[in-house]
Structure 1
Amino acid sequence: MDKFVDYLKRGWPALLLIVALVAVWHLAVAQSQSLIFPTPGQVLAGTVELAQNGTLWEHIGASLMRVTVGFLLAVAVAVPVGLWMGRVDRVYHTLNPLFQILRPISPIAWIPLAILWFGVGDVAPVFLIFLAAVFPMIVQTANGVHTIEQRYLHAAMNFGVSRQKMFHQVIVPAVLPDIVVGMRIGLGVAWLVVVAAEMIVRASGLGYMIIDARNAGNRYDLVVAGMAIIGLIGLLLDVVMRRLEGLNSVRWRYGR
């Protein structure tokens, strides 16, 4: 009960701000008498319509599936590569320039090549999501290894700890906070890219739903509904990653 009250105390300013913005949105549409842009009530009605016929859950499930696959593939590549770069200077100086060249390239710029290589199925958006997530995680993981306090390594060497044990029991636990931060950044970027990635998908996903609603009869209530749902899911994903950052096993390097 105390935790719930604490959440309310911390969350009410944000809730009030959202309510105020929705009220301003409603008043602006009512005053302009727009026949195209929807009111909050029309957006809610469109969302209920999609939820009742099951279409909404299909699109959400498809988007989450693609983001999950692309993100997990990025984690599987980025964490080992980042640890390797952080521990071996020659590898870092070889790979880092390449990653710094590729990292600023927007995943959207890869769409023509993704279609050329993988067609318009599920593989192309997963590839784009992978590209969006992998580079932030590599950079953050390698940086985490570089910032490990030397006293941890010196203490382990003084006790005669083997290199393998040092890696698994000292380096990896010490760099976990940076890995999780990289995962949080990568997941946020991956979810951001999902709309653009799903523009090349045949018939599923929140991005496809937005484009289809715009093209099939100017259903801007469904366009805005899709945008709001993407934002809410992004918020939930960020909350989950923040909880992961707070685990004691993740933050042992920093004590309490």
Structure 2
Amino acid sequence: MNSLAEPRKWEKFFWPLLATGLLLALWHYSVIWTATKVFPSPSSVEKGLVGLFQHHVLWADIRDSLRRVAIGFGAAVLLGIPVGLMLGWYPAANQVVNPAMQILRPISPIAWIPVAIIFFGIGDSAAIFLIFLGAFFPIVVACINGVSNVPSVFRRTGRNFGLTPPQLLARVVFPAALPQILVGLRIALGIAWLVVVAAEMIAVDSGLGYLVIDSRNSGKRYDLVVAAILLIGLIGLVLDFGIRRLERLKPVRWGFRSES
């Protein structure tokens, strides 16, 4: 059994690395074959990336983007989880709020950029507001669905043990709904990272999104544009990996059992 398991662990690293190598090779030779003077080669992107790090520019942009996402996403979590739990706990309230939420939820946060600039001006507040909007609704919907999908036997068991409604919600319903809530958080974080890049292209003068548009406008430095795009994707991958690690934690998978 061990001899069969080892190749699988090895393949987890081998195949992604092989796919990455093939993609880089395809990129490199495509630039050579097309003789393009616009799109940069992997080596040009690497040189541009090294230059950004050497001039201590990139760390500040990464920090600003992550800070905006942390504030906007954190605010969405702090407000969205209680709102979602309450709406899931009280179906009558959900029926009242749901039509308005279903109208607002499909609107792209990017469409709110002019409104955000009117209310908050050019700066961090506008970008954070857009991130909050992008993350808030997926969190609320995930919480509502999570609470609604908790088996009724869980609630009856909690009541039989004399739990009050707040205790039942906190100690039974929330842990049971937590895996689905974390899926909503994962989706919301991905949207927040998408939104911050778009918002930084318009509403602020720092961050990875600003780096993309600034590199394009000042000198058409497409090597820096592609470098920033690759960094955006890499950081998004790391953020998603962190959320997925939370989903695999034993207290999350067995939240109800650990509380009982």
Give the TM-score category using the shorter length: over 0.9
1:126 aligns with 2:147: no
TM-score (norm 1): 0.95
Looking at structure 2, the residues matched to 107 and 40 of structure 1 have their Cα atoms a distance apart, in angstroms, of 33
Unaligned runs of 5+ in 1: none
Contact 1:44 1:225 in 2 (8 A): yes
The sequence identity of aligned pairs, in percent, is 49
Match of 2:212 in 1: 210
Further displaced range: 5-14 or 240-249: 5-14
Could you tell me which amino acid in structure 1 is paired with residue 91 of structure 2?
D
Check conservation: 1:115, 1:200, Cα contact below 8 A: no
Q: CA deviation at 1:11?
A: 2.8
Q: Displacement of 1:254 after TM fit?
A: 8.2
Counterparts of 1:22-171 in structure 2, within 5 Å, are 22-171=24-173
CA RMSD of aligned residues (A): 1.7
| Deviation of 1:160 (Å) | 1.9
SS where residue 204 of structure 1 aligns?
coil
Task: Answer yes or no: is the 8 Å Cα contact 1:198–1:205 preserved in 2.
Answer: yes
Partner of 1:189: 191
Are the structure 2 counterparts of residues 205 and 82 from structure 1 closer, same or farther at C-alpha, using a change threshold of 3 Å?
same
Tell me the equivalent position of 2:203: 201
Q: Which moved more, 1:13-22 or 1:101-110?
A: 13-22
SS in 2 for 1:161: coil
Letter in 2 for 1:24: L
Structure 2 distance, partners of 1:253, 1:76, is: 20
Output the CA distance in 2 between the equivalents of 1:253 and 1:58. 39
Give the 3-state SS of the residue equivalent to 1:165 in structure 2.
helix
Distance 1:128 1:224, change over 3 A: same
